[in-house]
């Protein structure tokens, strides 16, 4: 069966520090991968999606970047965090068109 792993679960980082959040999927090949952010009291905002290795598309301009070095690995990064980067970050994967997403358990990032 397919599983998705996301870590760490919580993270407190100072302003200006780097960020690396990792997401891996098991039990499937060539998944579509996604990074979402959920700010306090708000809905989900799609940050990045990837349909294959090295293929990254960004939905909104921001201080973050994403990479997909392997088929089932998706990394969210920042060189210098801002206070506004605080939020709950969710990784997800999907198969074909019309499929729902399977979400990871999320990372609560607090930038102080």
Partner 1 sequence: AQSVTQLDSHVSVSEGTPVLLRCNYSSSYSPSLFWYVQHPNKGLQLLLKYTSAATLVKGINGFEAEFKKSETSFHLTKPSAHMSDAAEYFCVVSDQSGGYNKLIFGAGTRLAVHP
Residues in the chain: 112
Q: Which is nearer to partner 1, 46 or 53 (CB)?
A: 46
Q: Which is nearer to partner 1, 38 or 73 (CB)?
A: 38
Applying the rule CB under 8 A, the residues between 61 and 90 that interact with partner 1 are: 88, 90
- Count Cβ atoms within 10 A of the Cβ of residue 65 and give its class: 0-12 exposed, 13-18 middle, 19 or more buried: middle
Q: Closest distance between partner 1 and the C-beta of residue 14, in Å? A: 22
Q: Closest distance between partner 1 and the C-beta of residue 45, in Å? A: 9
């Amino acid at each position: 069966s397919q599983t998705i792993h996301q870590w760490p679960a919580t993270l407190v980082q100072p302003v200006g520090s780097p960020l690396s959040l990792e997401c891996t999927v098991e039990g499937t090949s060539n998944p579509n991968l996604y990074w979402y952010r959920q700010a306090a009291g708000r809905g989900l905002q799609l940050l990045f999606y990837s349909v294959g290795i090295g293929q990254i598309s960004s939905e909104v301009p921001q201080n973050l970047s994403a990479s997909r070095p392997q088929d089932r690995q998706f990394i969210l990064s920042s060189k210098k965090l801002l206070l506004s980067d605080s939020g709950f970050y969710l990784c997800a994967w999907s198969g074909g068109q019309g499929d729902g997403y399977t979400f990871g358990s999320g990372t609560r990032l607090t930038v102080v």
